[in-house]
């Protein structure tokens, strides 16, 4: 039944109790990942949760279309990444139009105690200087202790590509933070 449902367009399938239960389970499992991926781009927890919320709502709408449910996390990560980048671009355009300075990242959280403001700013500056394809790999690698295989699955690229990009990203970050 699940396989038959997988290819039907979302407009044809209403939310069923089974689908809702499945989504609730995935919500509990993937919320933190989505917020952290968003945060790596928007640098603001409130904005990160907004972006993650929209990504999860979109994932819920399209859940029935997903052929391989095991790819849900990877699907969510890529979607959240894209939406976060769009969010930042639109915010910058809005700021530029209104001639308002782009606000800095939100104040330090409890988890940021190990890094002071200046170190954090330098770190994010170095991360922002990375090309997008390297940035995603380094962020996913830093999150939750993901292995190369995990990052390859989440990013939808080969493991060899992950290793190559990770090597380059580390080298550049080290150089920038020296």
Residue 61: Cβ within 10 Å count: 12
Give me 69's structure tokens.
């449910």
**Binder to other proteins among 5, 22, 49, 159 (CB under 8 A)?**
49
If one asks whether residue 125 binds other proteins (CB under 8 A), the answer comes out as no
Asked whether the CA dihedral 124, 128, 132, 133 is positive or negative, the reply is negative
> Which residues, numbered 12-31, are part of the site for other proteins (CB under 8 A)?
12-15, 27-28, 31
Give me 52's structure tokens.
């993650």
Query: Do the Cβ atoms of 124 and 63 come closer than 8 Å?
Result: no
DSSP letter, residue 63:
G
Nearer to other proteins, 66 or 93 (CB): 66
Nearer to other proteins, 1 or 100 (CB): 1
Q: What angle do CA 161, 31, 109 make, to 5 degrees?
A: 95
Give me 91's structure tokens.
């915010």
Give me 13's structure tokens.
């399938």
Q: How far is the CB of 99 from other proteins (least distance, A)?
A: 30
Place of tokens 């990942």: 33
Give me 23's structure tokens.
């989504």
If one asks whether residue 112 binds other proteins (CB under 8 A), the answer comes out as yes
**Total of chain residues touching other proteins, rule CB under 8 A:** 48
**Interface stretch with other proteins, choices 68-76, 87-95, 141-149, 157-165 (CB under 8 A):** 141-149
Q: How far is the CB of 19 from other proteins (least distance, A)?
A: 11
Binding site for other proteins (CB under 8 A): 9-15, 27-28, 31-32, 35-36, 39-40, 45, 48-49, 52-54, 56-57, 60-61, 109, 111-112, 114-115, 119-120, 122-124, 126-127, 138-139, 141-143, 145, 170, 173-174, 177-178
């Amino acid at each position: 039944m699940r396989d038959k449902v997988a290819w039907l367009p979302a407009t044809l399938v209403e939310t069923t109790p089974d689908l809702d239960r499945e989504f609730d389970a995935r919500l509990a499992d993937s919320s933190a990942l989505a917020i952290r991926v968003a945060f790596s781009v928007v640098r603001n927890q409130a904005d990160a949760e907004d972006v993650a919320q929209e990504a999860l709502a979109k994932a819920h709408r399209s859940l029935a279309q997903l052929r391989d449910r095991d790819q849900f996390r990877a699907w969510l990560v890529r979607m959240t990444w894209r939406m976060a980048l769009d969010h930042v671009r639109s915010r910058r355009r809005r700021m530029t139009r209104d001639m308002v300075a782009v606000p800095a990242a939100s104040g330090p959280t409890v988890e940021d105690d190990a890094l002071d403001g200046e170190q954090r700013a330098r770190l994010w500056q170095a991360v922002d200087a990375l090309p997008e394809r390297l940035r995603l790999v380094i962020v996913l690698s830093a999150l939750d202790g993901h292995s190369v295989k995990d990052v390859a699955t989440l990013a939808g690229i080969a493991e060899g590509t992950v290793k190559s990009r990770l090597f380059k990203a580390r080298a550049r970050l080290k150089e920038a933070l020296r």
